Structure 1
Amino acid sequence: MSDKKSYYITTPIYYVNDVPHIGHAYTTLACDVLARFKRLDGYDVMFLTGTDEHGQKVEKSAEKAGVAPLEFCDRVSARFQDLAQAMNFSNDQFIRTTEERHKISAQHLWNRIKENGFIYEDNYAGWYSVRDEAFYGEDELTEGEGGSKLAPTGAPVEWVEEPSYFFKLSAFQDKLLEVYENHPDFVLPKSRLNEVKSFVAGGLQDLSISRTTFNWGVPVPDADGHIMYVWIDALTNYLTAVDYPNENSEKFQKFWPANVHMVGKDILRFHAVYWPAFLLAADLPLPDRIFAHGWWTNEGQKISKSLGNVIDPFELIDTYTLDSVRFFLLREVPFGNDGDFSRTSFVNRCNSDLSNGFGNFAQRSLSMIFKNCDGKIPTPGALSAEDKALLTGIEDVLPQVRELMDKQAFNKAFDAIWSQVAAADVYISAQEPWKLRKTDPARMETVLYVCAEAVRMLAILMQPIMPESIDKLLGQMNIDNRGFDQLTDAHRIKPGADLPKPEGVFPRFEHATDEA
């Protein structure tokens, strides 16, 4: 087994009743950036994503499409895999709940919970939302048109009566409250933890965890006609991917419990209440954190198919380039808050931070070296206080960024890096190497060396968010070693190294004009 520190991060597995949209891209992007960051920081990383393919909603969607459920799942799951490729996600596994290994894992977890006395058989009668795949109490419902009843999400509900197996969720109320109390970062952001605590403190009802009115799901062991409730099946994927039920496997030993389950705020209850209760019932360790991020609106409007304003990530990439999309989504809005997607904001942010900001600094610095130093990294003289301050500032930002990434405060982490981009801009403007070329060539070479080193270090820090663009930039500089361990004065850029004519890596965008 590797002696490297381990890090296990998961996306929710995405439900295959529809094609991927910007929300799916956003969640997986956050995980991808964190996974890349941890790898560069010396960790052995497991990054998991995939698709949730069982349940009544999938069965109905397949029926509507006129195909068998598995064929429908194959088709839609492929689109999520296409998105992972298009967004350059670095996931180590893509799991599908229709895989045989997952069925074995889910049934084993069920048996273990049952053996521990937390599953019993009874009849279920209550309100169920097919769209949410969730049960709701009478007190949670609102009234819709014509006296119909709606879930808190606005989804329609129907009255369901059927034989069912139940999970003794009520037995875990105090234990869950204890978890939240003893581990205040178990759910982030803090506002979400308060929601969860309030829900659990209000009293937990036992949970119906099997269905008999349809059959597209994992069969309940030794119970003909029963299939598992989609959430106990779906959540188990996090265990399946690390070889459960083989708890002695190297993968399980190394990566369980997970460090972060990243989810949208709409599925927080399943992850922060049901999932830890299932794990406690099975005597399995709990994950370190569940992070629930916010939702995107589109130009101030709620995103919905009926409004026709669903944001297609594939179209965004075609219009604006991949790394610009990646950058904007995590830079623009505090992670955990809701955010508004505006094309004006997109163009302004990318032009300001990338094209006019870091891109401009890198292009100016490397072009001056190419023109004035025979296409080679210059040899510096003694460094001045200003030279040292710039380089030390960039070195010192890594611990800050590390701490912010560990809190999933992505935009603050990028703020910290861009504060050093601003410092580099101030430095080159103050030092004026274009004037030094005539007045003090030796000092010019020192300044340009410091600028090249600043570009190298800043680029290494930016790799997780813009891997393709930064790969091109570091490739132009012939930098092969790109881990965060290279961000010290012991690994400075080598004087005399060849520097070919640099090319810009960040495009500048124009604002779209309204057609007449």
Structure 2
Amino acid sequence: MVFLDEIADGSLKIWKTLDISYTDFIRTTEARHAAFVQKILQKIYDKGEDIYQGEYSGLYCVGCEAFKNERDLVNGVCPDHLTKPEVIKEKNWFFKLSKYQGFLEKWFAEHPTFVESASRFNEVKAFVERGVEDFSISRENNTFGIPLPFDSSQITYVWFDALLNYITVCQEEGEKFWDKDTYILHVMAKDIVKFHATYWPAMLESAGYRLPDQEYVTGYLTVDGQKMSKSLGNIVDPVQVAQDYDRDAEVFYLLYDAPIGADGDFSWDRFKGTYESVLIGAWGNLVNRVVSLCSKYGITEGNIS
């Protein structure tokens, strides 16, 4: 838990430094979330057909916290983490995702902008068209996690648990942020779109909740064409960048240089070049000229139209 506290505190520090505001900050280790997860699990379990007990034998990527098929691997390893999945076999509880095959296909057809961008949506639709499989929603109890309300020997699988925090965080507002008249937008990285666009809609339909209006998928941020890695020593600390230059300079560069929705690449040379030529040279010069003219003609207030 100490490690998780450090990760959460680090995220909050970044948001504060970059002046990113939020209504509520939730962690899936919170008591309010555990209670809601168990409530939803029990509700779906009581339906008698969407959750069942079975045995799983297959490949599991620890980094993704997800089961893998052979077709998901590249040269026998996870393409995202470059590690070989573990072979596991255990009794778990499963969510009957296969029951919602037709529902997902119909939803995608009726909501052509459900996943943005189109290329990501095509990946999701192709995944579903191959035939979705039921997925395990529990693991053998290792003392860390949310116990299943109907089987205390098992804890809830992270991708059933974590997705529900979208609704947990609305509880204190009477779920008004999740009602039919609210526009619901999810923003996520490209590596977790499968869970959001297939597992999540089926879970919501099973539990009797409306679906989000759109899921916006972002790319990765690399450094000089390479993935950020501690071993390579190329991790860019957003807090340090803001302290060395300025918060506005950092945000401007990311919006200016990184394409929205696609992978972006951070380069110190381009960052410094943008800072000096665009912010200081272009915008800074413009502001200086405007201020000089205002001073020259005695303009002290007014509106820009």
TM-score of the superposed pair, with normalisation by structure 2: 0.92
The whole-number CA distance in structure 2 between the counterparts of 1:186 and 1:328 is: 29
Report Cα offsets for 1:465-500 as digits up to 9, x if no partner. Answer: xxxxxxxxxxxxxxxxxxxxxxxxxxxxxxxxxxxx
Shift of 1:254: 5.6
Q: Is the 8 A contact 2:180 2:210 kept in 1?
A: no
Shift of 1:343: 1.7
Residues 1:453 and 1:353: Cα distance change in structure 2 (over 3 Å): farther
Aligned to 1:139: 71
Q: How many residues align?
A: 303
Aligned to 1:432: none
Shift of 1:305: 1.9
Are residues 1:269 and 2:194 paired?
yes
Which amino acid in 2 is paired with 1:187? Answer: V
Aligned to 2:105: 177
The whole-number CA distance in structure 1 between the counterparts of 2:175 and 2:158 is: 28
The whole-number CA distance in structure 1 between the counterparts of 2:84 and 2:240 is: 31
Shift of 1:293: 0.8
Aligned to 2:132: 204
Q: What is the SS of the residue equivalent to 2:273?
A: helix
Structure of larger gyration radius: 1
Which amino acid in 2 is paired with 1:141? Answer: L
Aligned to 1:125: 57
Residues 1:253 and 1:285: Cα distance change in structure 2 (over 3 Å): closer
Aligned to 1:163: 91
Structure 1 residues 335-344 or 299-308, which shifts more? 299-308
Aligned to 1:98: 29
Q: Is the 8 A contact 1:132 1:155 kept in 2?
A: no
The whole-number CA distance in structure 2 between the counterparts of 1:253 and 1:340 is: 35
Aligned to 1:195: 123
**Match among 135, 147, 150 for residue 77 of structure 2:** 150
Q: What is the SS of the residue equivalent to 1:94?
A: coil
Identity of aligned residues (%): 39
Aligned to 1:309: 234
**Match among 270, 273, 287 for residue 212 of structure 2:** 287
Shift of 1:161: 1.1
Structure 1 residues 296-305 or 197-206, which shifts more? 296-305
The whole-number CA distance in structure 1 between the counterparts of 2:85 and 2:181 is: 36
Aligned to 1:109: 40
**Match among 356, 376, 398 for residue 300 of structure 2:** 376
Structure 1 residues 213-222 or 190-199, which shifts more? 213-222
Aligned to 1:85: 16
The whole-number CA distance in structure 1 between the counterparts of 2:263 and 2:214 is: 20
Q: Is the 8 A contact 2:167 2:175 kept in 1?
A: no
Q: Is the 8 A contact 1:300 1:340 kept in 2?
A: yes
Q: Is the 8 A contact 1:215 1:225 kept in 2?
A: no
Shift of 1:258: 5.5
The whole-number CA distance in structure 1 between the counterparts of 2:262 and 2:178 is: 34
Q: What is the SS of the residue equivalent to 1:224?
A: strand
Q: What is the SS of the residue equivalent to 2:148?
A: coil
Residues 1:255 and 1:355: Cα distance change in structure 2 (over 3 Å): farther
Larger helix proportion of the pair? 1
Q: What is the SS of the residue equivalent to 1:301?
A: coil
Which amino acid in 2 is paired with 1:272? Answer: A
Q: What is the SS of the residue equivalent to 2:195?
A: helix
Q: Is the 8 A contact 2:141 2:147 kept in 1?
A: no
The whole-number CA distance in structure 1 between the counterparts of 2:245 and 2:153 is: 50
Q: Is the 8 A contact 1:264 1:292 kept in 2?
A: yes
Taking the TM superposition and a 5 Å limit, the aligned residue runs for 1:393-408 are none
The whole-number CA distance in structure 2 between the counterparts of 1:370 and 1:275 is: 58
Are residues 1:337 and 2:262 paired?
yes
Q: What is the SS of the residue equivalent to 1:307?
A: coil
**Match among 222, 233, 248 for residue 297 of structure 1:** 222
Shift of 1:257: 5.7
Aligned to 2:145: 217
Q: Is the 8 A contact 2:201 2:211 kept in 1?
A: yes
Q: Is the 8 A contact 1:215 1:226 kept in 2?
A: no
Q: Is the 8 A contact 2:95 2:136 kept in 1?
A: yes
Which amino acid in 1 is paired with 2:111? Answer: H
Q: What is the SS of the residue equivalent to 2:152?
A: coil
Shift of 1:329: 0.8
The whole-number CA distance in structure 1 between the counterparts of 2:169 and 2:250 is: 29
Residues 1:353 and 1:134: Cα distance change in structure 2 (over 3 Å): same
Unaligned 5+ segments in structure 2 are none
Aligned to 1:72: 3
Q: What is the SS of the residue equivalent to 1:317?
A: helix
TM-score of the superposed pair, with normalisation by structure 1: 0.56
Residues 1:256 and 1:167: Cα distance change in structure 2 (over 3 Å): farther
The whole-number CA distance in structure 2 between the counterparts of 1:353 and 1:259 is: 35
Are residues 1:363 and 2:288 paired?
yes
Which amino acid in 2 is paired with 1:376? Answer: T
Report Cα offsets for 1:297-318 as digits up to 9, x if no partner. Answer: 2112222222111111122112
Shift of 1:187: 0.2
Which amino acid in 2 is paired with 1:280? Answer: E
Residues 1:101 and 1:327: Cα distance change in structure 2 (over 3 Å): same
Unaligned 5+ segments in structure 1 are 1-69, 144-148, 378-451, 458-516
Which amino acid in 1 is paired with 2:218? Answer: H
Residues 1:272 and 1:95: Cα distance change in structure 2 (over 3 Å): same
Report Cα offsets for 1:398-435 as digits up to 9, x if no partner. Answer: xxxxxxxxxxxxxxxxxxxxxxxxxxxxxxxxxxxxxx
Residues 1:81 and 1:140: Cα distance change in structure 2 (over 3 Å): same
